[in-house]
Every structure is written in C-alpha cells, then in structure tokens.
Amino acid sequence: MHPPWKKSLLVNNLFVILSAILCGFSRSAKSFEMIVLGRILAGLNSGVSMNVQPMYLAESAPKKLRGTVAMSSAVFTALGLVLGQVIGLSEILGGEDCWPFLLASNAIPAILQLFVLPWLPESPRYLLIDLKDKDSCICALQRLRGHSDISIEMEEILAEQAATSGQRPKSLCELIREPTLRRQLLTIVVLSCAMQLCGNDSMYFYASSIFQEAGIPLEKIQYVVIGTGSCELITSITCTVFIDRVGRRALVMGGYSLMSVWAVVFMVALSQQGVVSWMPYLSMVCIFAYILSFGIGPAGVTGIMPGEIFDQMARPAAYMICGSLIWIMLFVIGLAFPFILQGLGHFCFIPFLVACVSTSLYVGLFLPETKGKSLLEITEEFTKHSVKRKNVANGWNGPQEIKSTML
C-alpha cells in the first residue's frame, strides 16, 4: 500500500529544510561539499513533491474542477521560478555576500507547508479505496466541499472502489507488464519525454545571448530574463482557467503545434542574424512565444495526466515513471545540447521540432479527452480504442459480418 499523500508531503519538507541549513552555513564552514549535499537534498524534495502534489490535489478535487485544482501545482511551480529570478537579482540576494541566503530561501515554503498541511484532510479516494474507511472518506469530503451535496461524488468513488476490488497497488514492474494499461503507459512515456525533448529549457539557454545581440545592456539582461519566467507563469494561470473548459487534449496538442511553428521561425531568425539587422528582435519574440506556447498546455497538463488516466492501484507507479522520465530527459538534454548546437549550429532546434510535431500527432490520434469524465469513463475510452484496434488487426468487422454470412 502506498503511503498517505499528506504525510508524504510533510516528511518531504524535512529534505529541503536540511538542504537550506547546509547551504546557508556552507560559507561559514568553508565547505563546498555542504552545498553539493544540500542541492542533492533539494533535488530529492523537488522530485517527490512534483509527483505527490498533483496526485493529492487530483484525488481531492471534484470531477468538474479536477484539472483546475491539479494545475494549480504547475502555477505555483512557475511562481516559484519567477520569485527565484527576482530574489536572485544582484540588488537583492544575488550578490556575492548574500548567495548563502539565496540558496537557503527555499526553506520558507517548506516551513509554511509544515504549518498548513496538518489542517488539510487526507485524500478521500485514498481513505476509501486503500484504507477501506468509508466514514473517514465522507468526513474528508465534507471538509473539502463544505455544505455541497457529496452523494454523487461518493457514488463515483464507491464505483472506483468496486472496480479495483481485490487488487493491490501495482509495483513499477507490474505496471509495465500489465497488458490492459499499455496504451495509458505509452501515453505517459510520450508526454513525459516530450516535456524535455521539446526544447523549452534550451530556449532559456539562448535567452541571454539573444537579448545581448538585440542591444540590451549586459547589466539589464537579468531583468529581461525575469520576463521569460513571467511568460510561463501567465500561461500556467491561463491554462488553469481554461483546462476544464477547453480540455486537456486540445491544450497539449495546441501547445506543441505552436511550438513547432515557432521553432521553424526561430531557426530562420538565428540563421539570418548576421545578415538582417532586426533578426535579433524576431529571435526575442520567438523565445517568449515558445515559452508561452509551452505554458499553454504541455507544462501543466503533462504533470496531471497520470492522475487522470490511471486508477488508484496504478497511479503511484505511473507517477514514478512520469517523474523519472522528466528528470532523466532533462539530464540527457543538458548533456546533449552542446553537441547538438556544435553539430547543427543555427538549425539546432530541428530535433526539438521533430519531437513537438510527433507529440502533437500522437495526442491528436491516440489520446482521448478526459475533461469532466470519471476515471471509469476514461478507462473505458482507452479500452474501447484498444479493442477496436485489435479487432481491425484481426480482420474482425463485428456483428455486421455475422449478419452477412450465410450459414
């Protein structure tokens, strides 16, 4: 049985608090090893929280607002990025004297969470499906919904409990070997890999040099870079507002399609920067547009998809795969991008263009819309598609073939 989400988040904050202590006192101790260990602990905290938080939010949210509530995790991630850029300014904590305080500042949200989380109820689905505690589930739903009627939502959770009756939480290997979940697993693999292979982080790599070529003074570039993080924050908020109206599929497909267009324009602009004087400005536009397109859907929707398409027994293992692939791909791109840049020059975004186009096509062809649907309805959509493909592959045309066959 997987651990309770709320308790996992509470314990996870100890990693970042210890990280802040090590980094904060590293200069006094004259130990770079403390910084390395502190950053490793901060990375562990990020890896756990970016998986557990969307799960807890998605399981606690009503069906109609599941996307909005789960997407709030992406909004605050983007907000943390912008706040980090702001307090990292040389006038605040980015100076030589204040950098230990900058590295230790991540303890503030952790301490805040330690005070707030104990007052929140555990996930209702976890209480009923995993612990078989119906009374606690009802109590948690009443605390979360206030005076709203919870009878319909309770029926859905009971139906999910009945569907998973007799099962136990799947391990990583069991999930990979489970044939009925192959299509869901493939979807998570594609979306998780595309999250980093789309080249969004490489845009941040280009930002400073492009801004410099556009004529922005070197000492002012740090302020302009804040605009890149602000773009992701704005689009995350926009995505949160529209995700339960437009749907997950449209946002992801639209985001990757727009990124494909801007990747082409960006490569053209890079190749002509030495020839046309205004091309650096077009490159700046491409950087902001690319990041905006990424934030429209892929940035937030990818993180909530395992909670949307996997049941309570498979969800933890699915999030483990999703989170692991995102960080592994980030590591791979970080190592490979300098070689891609050296080999392809101005056309270094061709691999990212291929990834964006391929992902957009996959989502358009194979990912059913999950907006406003219960988990059982979503599972039925995946199963229906798999059965249909199997029947077509076997040459089976359904009951119509029986009717037209003479006996």
pLDDT tens digits, 320-334: 898 889 889 988 888
Q: Averaged over 154-158, what is the pLDDT?
A: 87
CATH assignment of the domain containing 309: 1.20.1250.20
- Same-domain check for residues 374 and 360: yes
- Same-domain check for residues 198 and 325: yes
Long-range contacts of 173-181 (CB under 8 A, 24+ apart): 174/317, 175/314, 175/317, 175/318, 175/321, 178/314, 180/383, 180/386, 181/310, 181/314
Q: Is residue 96 part of a domain?
A: yes
- Same-domain check for residues 104 and 129: no
- Answer yes or no: is pLDDT of 264 > 90: yes
Please give the tally of structural domains in the chain: 3
- Same-domain check for residues 255 and 345: yes
Contact 384, 223 (CB under 8 A): no
- Same-domain check for residues 131 and 244: no
Instruction: Give residue-wise pLDDT tens across range 1-54.
Output: 455 677 888 888 999 999 999 999 998 898 889 999 999 999 888 888 888 888
Compute the CA torsion angle 44, 46, 51, 53 (nearest 10 deg). 130
pLDDT of 130 reads: 83
pLDDT of 386 reads: 56
- Answer yes or no: is pLDDT of 406 > 50: no
Q: Is residue 406 part of a domain?
A: no
- Same-domain check for residues 157 and 177: no
- Same-domain check for residues 132 and 46: no
Q: Is residue 269 part of a domain?
A: yes
- Same-domain check for residues 214 and 148: no
Among 99, 132, 166, the domain-final residue is: 166
Instruction: Give residue-wise pLDDT tens across range 283-299.
Output: 888 888 998 898 888 88
Q: Is residue 372 part of a domain?
A: yes
Instruction: Give residue-wise pLDDT tens across range 199-237.
Output: 888 887 777 777 777 677 777 777 887 887 888 888 888
- Same-domain check for residues 321 and 243: yes
- Same-domain check for residues 293 and 381: yes
pLDDT of 354 reads: 95
- Same-domain check for residues 220 and 76: no
For a pLDDT cut of 90, what percent of the chain falls above it? Answer: 16
Q: Is residue 403 part of a domain?
A: no
pLDDT of 16 reads: 92
- Same-domain check for residues 202 and 259: yes
Q: Is residue 400 part of a domain?
A: no
Indicate the pTM of the whole model. 0.80
Contact 60, 153 (CB under 8 A): no
pLDDT of 2 reads: 52
Q: Is residue 396 part of a domain?
A: no
- For residue 137, the enclosing domain spans 124-166
Q: Is residue 74 part of a domain?
A: yes
Sign of the dihedral through C-alpha 307, 309, 310, 311: positive
Cα–Cα distance, 304 to 290 (Å, whole number): 21
